[in-house]
Structure 1
Amino acid sequence: MNTLDAIYNRRAVKHFDAQHRLTAEEENTLLEAAIQAPTSYNCQHWRFIILRDPALRAQICKQYANDQAQITDASMLVLFTADVKAWSKTPERYWANAPQEVGEMLVSWMGPFHEGRDWLQRDEAHRSIGMAMQTMMLAAQELGYQTCPLIGYDIDEVAKLVNLPDDHVMGPMIAIGKGIKDPWPKAGQLPLSEVVFENSF
């Protein structure tokens, strides 16, 4: 599929074929595509939790997500989290394949850029989640699947269920599978004249 076609055709689908399963190869393709997304300093903050256990999905759906059927019915349900301290954890590994002088230079910049700026560390983690999510959704579109990003769940309670480490943040989930109902009509985008500025507001 053409990339622009994937962008324009991607929609948040709410109803999935609960009997359909992705193959292991398809799952791997989606995950490998997601980690091609860019991250600041190549920190690769993302940590993906594939929620497979039907009982866990049912618990999240019923208790913490307002009975959103895509949580239980999607072929694949991925919870996006991120390590806010990724920049400090053996950062040399992020530049293992770069020329030595480039890797050493960038690693030397990472500490001063992040240290003492908790807000920035969290922002970078969430930015990384967002870019990986969009990449995965477009990859799913290419494979002929539909997706639904969702943040409408009790973040604190689900964090407990997945044993989220203290230095990680929670992001949205993506439900992926075969849609069985057409999505709602597109709600409408703001015109470029309202959202695009040149040089300043």
Structure 2
Amino acid sequence: MDVMSAVQNRRAAKSFDPQHQMSAETRRVLLENAALAPSAYNIQHWRVVDVQDIELRKSIREVAWGQAQVTDASLLLVLCADLEAWQERPQRYWATAPQPVQDFLLPKLDEYYRGKPEVARDEAMRSLGILGMTLMLLAQDLGYDSCPMDGFDYAAVARLIRLPAHYAIGYMVAIGKGQDNAWERNRLPLQDWLIKNHF
């Protein structure tokens, strides 16, 4: 499938076939390719919790407004961000870059993030947004449906997945075989949201 078709066909599925099992190979292909998504400073802030335990899924569903996607999707991913990833062996992020590039970027990274927790969080969340969209388009290409989810108690899910203190949850993505439940798409016309040059 080409990218345009994946974008046009992707919908937020609200119910999934609970009997469908995603193969280990498909899961690997999906996740390894999603990791090619861009991220701020190539930090790859994402730490993705693949919730496979059914009892844990049931517990998450209880704090997610009872949404069936949590338990019925073939794959439930909690997209988390390591807010301190910028200072964790940062030289590894550009290990294949030319030395002059590394020499320039390493001090800049420290200058950009140190003492600025709001910048670290904002950048990590932007990176999670890109990762999530990449996951959903790849899922579509692989014949799967998906649903980004933020309708849940973040603090409760954090406790359930034992989220480290310096991490933050962005949102969840459910992926599986959607059942016929997509509503007709409703998008604002271009003139309602495209601003030329300035407001």
The bucket for the TM-score relative to the shorter chain is over 0.9
Secondary structure (helix, strand or coil) at the match of 1:28 reads: helix
In 2, Cα distance between equivalents of 1:120 and 1:34? 24
In 1, Cα distance between equivalents of 2:36 and 2:197? 30
Alpha-carbon distance, 1:104 to partner: 2.1
Moved over 3 A (4+): none
What percentage of residue pairs aligned between the two structures are identical? 45
- More displaced 10-residue stretch of structure 1: 191-200 or 159-168: 191-200
Give unmatched runs, 5+ long, in structure 2: none
Residue matched to 2:11? 11
In 1, Cα distance between equivalents of 2:162 and 2:181? 35
- Equivalenced residue count is 199
In 2, Cα distance between equivalents of 1:166 and 1:73? 29
Map 1:50-89 to 2 at 5 A. 50-61=50-61, 63-89=62-88
Deviations 1:45-95 (A, max 9, x none): 00000000000101111x201111111010110000001111111100001
- More displaced 10-residue stretch of structure 1: 23-32 or 177-186: 177-186
Cα RMSD of the aligned pairs, angstroms, is: 1.0
Map 1:1-201 to 2 at 5 A. 1-61=1-61, 63-186=62-185, 188-201=186-199
Alpha-carbon distance, 1:111 to partner: 0.6
Specify the code of the residue in structure 2 equivalent to 1:60. I
In 1, Cα distance between equivalents of 2:188 and 2:183? 18
Alpha-carbon distance, 1:182 to partner: 3.1
Normalising by structure 1, report the TM-score: 0.96
Normalising by structure 2, report the TM-score: 0.97
Alpha-carbon distance, 1:198 to partner: 2.4
In 1, Cα distance between equivalents of 2:123 and 2:20? 35
